[in-house]
Amino acid sequence: MKLVLASASPRRQELISLISQDVLCVPSGVEEIVPENINTPDIPLCLAFQKAEAVAKEFYDYIVIGCDTGVILGNEILGKPKDKEDARRMITALSGKVHQVVTGCAIFYKGKTAGFSNITDVEFYPLSSKEIEDYINTTEPYDKAGGYGIQGKAGLFVKGIKGDYFNVVGLPVSELNREINRLLAEN
């Protein structure tokens, strides 16, 4: 099966290979526009559809997958930190709390579409100021939603998760594989 991943994320590129080795990675380059009055947990799926749709225009005969991951604490979605101060704010806010990681996945194939959101609860241990400072002084927080990657040094902060580990990494491959197969069965 020929897949196109509308993403430049190295983590997603690695995970998609569990589904297929025949994958093109084509970042969408779209300007992400969040509609007004959208519920916070629906934002990642909305953005995933924008990315997949932009790339699907060039790859009609391929299965095109768009993804977006958001870290949600309360009613705030934490994107990628803009700078060290923003990373400090995010990691401090997550310290000792449960938050949700939501990945929206949109699939386009020959004019048909499917989409879903996968939600995983993640709990952080309470963190000391030193732990936070040591972490934000690495390069790790700055290209990840919520300022952390569970597969990296921030894995030391995680007290527990409820849900799909790979969703927290950025691609819920098991559910995505099932949705791709369901969409293919309809064609």
Cβ partners under 8 Å of residue 57, min gap 6: none
The interaxial angle of helices 129-136 and 84-94, nearest 10 deg, is 140
So what's the pLDDT on residue 116? 97
> Using CA atoms, how far apart are residues 23 and 14, in angstroms rounded to an integer?
10
**In the predicted model, is pLDDT for residue 187 greater than 90?**
no
- What are the pLDDT digits (tens) for 24-33? 999 998 988 8
Question: With bands split at pLDDT 50, 70 and 90, how would you rate the model's confidence at 133?
Answer: very high
Catalytic position from the list 61, 68, 134, 143: 68
User: What is the pLDDT averaged over residues 88-103?
Assistant: 97
75: exposed, middle or buried (Cβ count in 10 Å: 0-12, 13-18, 19+): exposed
**Would you say residue 186 has pLDDT above 90?**
no
86 is catalytic: no
Q: Measuring CA to CA, how many Å separate 134 from each of 15, 130, 139, 159, 164?
A: 28, 6, 11, 19, 28
Task: Please give the DSSP secondary-structure letter assigned to residue 62.
Answer: S
pTM for the whole thing?
A: 0.92
Query: Which helix or strand (DSSP H or E) is residue 167 part of?
Result: helix 165-169
Q: Strand locations in the chain, DSSP E?
A: 3-5, 23-25, 63-73, 76-78, 98-109, 112-124, 158-162
CATH topology of domain 3-186: Maf protein (3.90.950)
pLDDT digits (tens, 9 = 90+) for 152-181: 999 999 999 999 999 999 999 999 999 999
Number of CB atoms found within 10 A of residue 174's CB: 14
Give the mean model confidence (pLDDT) for residues 107-119: 95
Domain boundaries, the chain: 3-186
Residue 66 pLDDT > 80: yes
* Mean pLDDT within 122-129: 98
Q: What does the pLDDT read at residue 10?
A: 87
Q: How confident is the model at residue 78 (pLDDT cuts 50, 70, 90)?
A: very high
Count of residues for the chain?
A: 187
Tell me what percent of the residues of the chain surpass a pLDDT of 90. 87
Mean per-residue pLDDT of the chain: 94
Give the pLDDT confidence of 45-65 residue by residue, as tens digits: 999 999 999 999 999 899 999
